[in-house]
Amino acid sequence: MSNSAKELVRLITENPELLVVPMVDSDIVDDDCCGRYKGSFGKCSVGEYAVYRERVYFDKEDFEEAYYDYNCDELCEKFNYNPRVMNCPKGKYSAEKIAANEENAKELNNYLRRISDKVFKKAIIVNIDMPENE
């Protein structure tokens, strides 16, 4: 048994309540001629993941950015946040407007953190890599 497979068995034994999530390397499945593909157990670890818009995220900041990008109009309206205020030349907006927008940005970021905390799930993440040489 490979070291990666042994590590997987150990993690499952120590964390029987966690879902095992296999993550298949894209190099394995870039051909449409077969129904199944051979792979090998790669690195595995206990971690967190989220699925959003058919993409898997392992990093909360990446997820929050994607969630914001997809929902930016609604979120900016909900939090009265204008991203253009932060990137405009000095003098275009008053100091009060800039300060209010910065506060709104903090509230928006806190909201995004709460969303990511809610959707990320703890699991045993198993990389399925290209087959090892036999």
Q: Are 58 and 122 in contact (CB under 8 A)?
A: no
Q: Where are the domains of the chain?
A: 3-129
**Whole-number pLDDT of residue 25:** 75
Contacts of 117 (CB under 8 A, 6+ apart): 60
| pLDDT of 86 above 60 | yes
Mean pLDDT of the chain: 89
Q: Find the mean pLDDT for residues 88-104.
A: 84
SS3 for 94?
A: coil
What's the CA gap between 96 and 103, in Å, rounded?
11
- DSSP classification of residue 89: P
pLDDT surpassing 70 at residue 118 = yes
Q: What confidence tier does 76 reach under pLDDT thresholds 50, 70, 90?
A: very high
pTM: 0.79
Q: Residue 78's pLDDT is what?
A: 97
Residue 14: predicted pLDDT: 97
Query: Which of the four pLDDT bands, split at 50, 70 and 90, describes residue 5?
Result: confident
- Report pLDDT for 93: 81
Dump pLDDT digits (tens) for 7-41.
Answer: 999 999 999 999 999 988 777 766 666 666 777 88
Average pLDDT value for residue range 61-81: 97
Distance between CA atoms of residues 64 and 86, nearest Å: 19
